[in-house]
Chain A
Amino acid sequence: MHRSPATERLRGAAAAFLVACLAATFLTAASPADSPVDVPEPAGLWEGALQGYTPKTLAGATVLDGPQLDALIAGGSVVLVDVSEAGPTPPNQPAGRLWRPIHRAIPGSIWLPGAGSGTLTPPEQAALADRIAALTQGDRGRAIVTYCHPDCWGSWNLGKRLVGLGYRKVHWYPEGIEGWQERHDTAAIHPDETWTRRAQDGAGP
Chain B
Amino acid sequence: MRMSHRAAALSAGLFLAALAAPVTAWAAAGDDAAERDARWKDLQQSIFGNRPVETAKPLVRMDLPDRANDASLVPLTLTIADKDRIKGLYLVIDDNPAPLAAHFTFGPAADPEELKLRVRVNTYTNVHAVAETKDGALVQTTQFVKASGGCSAPMGMTDEEAMKGMGDMRLKFADAAPGKPIAATLMIRHPNFTGLQMNQVSREYTPARYINRISVTYGGKNVFVMEGDISISANPVINFAMLPEGKGPVTVVTQDNQGGRWERSFDAPVASN
The total of chain A residues at the interface (CB under 8 A) is 46
Is A91 a contact partner of B3 (Cβ separation < 8 A)?
Answer: yes
Decide: A101 and B97 in contact? CB cutoff 8 A.
Answer: yes
Rounded to whole angstroms, the CA-CA distance of A203 and B58 in the bound complex is 51
A89 touching B154 in the complex, CB below 8 Å, given contacts A98-B46, A184-B29: no
Q: Is B219 an interface residue (CB 8 A)?
A: no
A:159-184 near B, CB below 8 Å: 177-178, 181, 184
B11 touches A89 (CB 8 A): yes
Say if the beta carbon of A68 comes within 8 Å of chain B. no
State whether A18 touches B195 (Cβ < 8 A): no
- Chain B residues 136 to 181 lying within 8 A of chain A, measured CB to CB, are 146, 148-149, 151-154, 156-157
Closest residue of B by beta carbon distance from A100: B99
Q: Does A86 contact B (CB under 8 A)?
A: yes
B15 with A87: CB separation less than 8 A:
yes
Write the nearest CB–CB distance from A114 to chain B, whole angstroms. 8
Chain A residues positioned under 8 Å from B99 (CB to CB): 98, 100
Q: Which of B11, B23, B30, B46 is A185 in contact with, Cβ under 8 Å? A: B30
Cβ contacts under 8 Å, A98 to chain B: 43, 46-47, 98-100
**Segment at the interface with A among B74-82, B203-211, B244-252:** B203-211
| A24, closest chain B residue (CB) | B200
The stretch of A54-62, A122-130, A187-195 in contact with B is A187-195
Total of A-B residue pairs, C-beta within 8 Å: 139
What residue of chain A has the Cβ atom nearest to residue B210's Cβ? A90
CB-based contact A86/B24 at 8 Å: no
Across the interface, which residues of B come within 8 angstroms of A25, CB to CB?
Answer: 149, 153-154
- Bound state CA distance, A14 and B207, in angstroms? 20
User: Chain A interface secondary structure, helix, strand, loop or mixed?
Assistant: loop
Residues of B within 8 A of A21 (CB): 154, 200
Whether a CB of chain A sits under 8 angstroms from the CB of B56 is: no
Asked whether A26 lies within 8 Å of B70 as measured between CB atoms, the reply is yes
Provide a sorted-by-A list of 16 A–B residue pairs whose CB atoms are within 8 angstroms: A25-B149, A87-B152, A88-B195, A90-B196, A94-B212, A98-B98, A100-B99, A101-B19, A104-B123, A177-B148, A181-B124, A181-B148, A184-B29, A189-B26, A190-B19, A200-B13
- Residues of chain B at the chain A interface (Cβ within 8 Å): 3, 7-9, 11-20, 22-24, 26-32, 35, 39, 42-43, 46-47, 70, 95, 97-100, 123-124, 146, 148-149, 151-154, 156-157, 195-196, 198, 200-201, 203, 205, 207-208, 212, 229, 257
A contacts, CB < 8 Å to B: 14, 17-19, 21-22, 25-26, 28, 49, 51, 85-91, 94, 97-104, 107-108, 113-114, 177-178, 181, 184-191, 193, 196, 200, 203
